């Protein structure tokens, strides 16, 4: 996801933090927004705002945009405050700067993603021809993913990017924490984690202190939070479907295809539909949203993440719906390509907002 161009208006990357500090210094002299979310009470504890503070506050922001509509200092006022926009630009910088190793140049942007997906599909097809020449092209090919690849091979091609993504994400999380807070030891507070996870899962701070978001328009609306919860719930159901399938195979000894009314297809279907509903709602909101309250780079990152998740859900559902037709294996290959690419790219994408935001909620709870 292209996170290289952080420009908002006249600002270039190097000026981003200076501009954020200019705005936050004015915010800190006003403090009218403190009822909306934890960003503002956290700001009041600072007398000198560091780069780490800017990063922390930006990632703590849930982008409800209430502070923008409440602000008497937005342009054309000469103070020209726009916290949601500057925070979004800083978040894009966070997604870019904290992941290590950095993403290779060729894998960046939409062309990079297309290239990666194509490469993954070619590898999967090559493996299929090598390992399953008997079933992959046969006329009876249907319904079981093991007609495409043997279990160990399928497991490996999916696990490798998952492991890779997890390692990069953990490194990124540690680097982030060192910058915004300090010692990693401060992360060992189970009760604080419990509270932070609750806040995060319920999107507690996307409610504008009870006023709801002024998003996508200037009318208060809870729609974004609802769609986001649908999306996360859908993802969780899809994850549950995978776990259920693993359990049925490894413990019960049942092999796919599973009957439609059993746990894995059912959970997967519900999850996929919820994801599609969530993604569609969020994409529609993004299209309708007032421009200028989010950095262009963040809008691109949003669109890319949402379209990727939509592609995951749609290809996943198609794999299920079309499993007794001749195109099953073809759609399975496409779904696998999407899954593997998404996992590999996730730690460099807006997906990482989950990690950074949770860490910042945890920090807010820790400092409170």
State the nearest-atom distance from the C-beta of 81 to other proteins, in Å: 9
Instruction: Please tell me whether residue 25 binds other proteins under the rule CB under 8 A.
Output: yes
For other proteins, the closer of residues 58 and 74 by Cβ is 74
* Chosen residue from 15, 35, 242, 266 binding other proteins by CB under 8 A: 35
Reduce the DSSP state of residue 221 to 3 states and report it: strand
Backbone angles phi, psi at 8, to 5 degrees: -125, 115
Alpha-carbon distances, residue 126 vs 240, 246, 317 (angstroms): 30, 25, 24
Structure tokens at 267: 């959970």
Using CB under 8 A as the binding rule, the residues of this chain from 210 to 229 that contact other proteins are 210-211, 218-219
Question: Rounded to an integer, what distance in angstroms lies between the CA atom of residue 230 and that of residue 70?
Answer: 28
* Contacts (CB under 8 A) with other proteins, residues 40-79: 41, 44, 47, 66-67, 69-79
Q: Which of 11, 30, 125, 142 binds other proteins (CB under 8 A)?
A: 30
Question: Measured from the CB atom, is 41 or 150 closer to other proteins?
Answer: 41
Least Å distance between CB 196 and other proteins? Answer: 20
> Is there binding between residue 253 and other proteins (CB under 8 A)?
no
**Of 276, 198, 265, nearest in space to 234 by CA:** 276
CA distances from 25 to 20, 80, 353 (A): 9, 13, 25
Q: Does 31 bind other proteins (CB under 8 A)?
A: yes
The set of residues, in sequence order, having a beta carbon less than 8 Å from that of 188 and lying 6+ positions away, is: none
Residue with tokens 């995060």: 200
In terms of C-beta density within 10 A (0-12 exposed, 13-18 middle, 19 or more buried), how is residue 338 classed? buried
69/315 with CB nearer other proteins: 69
The residue (of 59 and 74) whose beta carbon lies closer to other proteins is 74
Nearer to other proteins, 143 or 290 (CB): 290
Element (H, E) at 249: helix 223-250
CB 22 within 8 A of CB 347: no
CB 71, min distance to other proteins, A: 7
Q: ω before 183 within 30° of 0 (cis)?
A: no
Task: Please tell me the distance from the alpha carbon of residue 73 to that of residue 221, in angstroms, as a whole number.
Answer: 23
According to CB under 8 A, which residues from 303 to 332 bind other proteins?
none
Q: How far is the CB of 218 from other proteins (least distance, A)?
A: 6
Among 135-143, 195-203, 205-213, 299-307, the segment contacting other proteins (CB under 8 A): 205-213
CB of 23 to other proteins, least distance (A): 10
Positions that interact with other proteins (CB under 8 A) = 25-26, 28-36, 41, 44, 47, 66-67, 69-79, 208-211, 218-219
């Amino acid at each position: 996801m292209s996170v290289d161009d952080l420009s908002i208006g006249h600002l270039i990357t190097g000026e981003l933090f200076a501009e954020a500090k200019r705005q936050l210094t004015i915010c800190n002299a006003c403090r009218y927004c403190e009822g909306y979310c934890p960003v503002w009470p956290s700001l009041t504890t600072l007398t000198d705002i560091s780069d780490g503070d800017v990063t922390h506050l930006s990632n703590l922001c849930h982008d409800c945009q209430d502070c923008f509509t409440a602000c008497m200092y937005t342009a054309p006022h000469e103070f020209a405050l726009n916290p949601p926009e500057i925070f979004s630009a800083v978040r894009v910088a966070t997604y870019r700067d904290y992941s290590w190793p950095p993403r290779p140049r060729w894998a960046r942007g939409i062309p990079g993603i297309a290239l990666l997906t194509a490469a993954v599909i070619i590898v999967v097809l090559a493996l299929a021809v090598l390992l399953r020449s008997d079933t992959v092209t046969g006329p009876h090919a249907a319904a079981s993913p093991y007609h495409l690849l043997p279990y160990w091979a399928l497991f490996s091609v999916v696990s490798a990017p998952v492991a890779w993504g997890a390692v990069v994400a953990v490194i990124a999380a540690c680097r982030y924490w060192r910058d915004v807070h300090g010692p990693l030891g401060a992360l060992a507070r189970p009760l604080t984690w419990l509270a932070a996870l609750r806040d995060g899962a319920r999107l507690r701070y996307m409610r504008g202190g009870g006023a709801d978001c002024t998003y996508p328009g200037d009318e208060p609306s809870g729609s974004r939070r609802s769609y986001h919860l649908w999306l996360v719930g859908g993802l969780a159901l899809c994850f549950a479907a995978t776990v259920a399938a693993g359990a049925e195979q490894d413990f019960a000894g049942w092999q796919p295809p599973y009957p439609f009314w059993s746990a894995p297809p059912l959970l997967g279907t519900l999850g996929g539909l919820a994801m599609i509903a969530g993604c569609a709602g969020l994409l529609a909101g993004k299209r309708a949203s007032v421009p200028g309250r989010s950095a262009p780079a963040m809008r691109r990152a949003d669109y890319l993440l949402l379209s990727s998740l939509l592609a995951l859900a749609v290809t996943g559902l198609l794999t299920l719906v079309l499993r007794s037709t001749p195109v099953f294996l073809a759609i399975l290959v496409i779904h696998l390509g999407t899954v593997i690419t998404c996992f590999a790219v996730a730690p460099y994408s807006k997906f990482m907002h989950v990690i950074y935001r949770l860490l910042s909620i945890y920090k807010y709870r820790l400092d409170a």
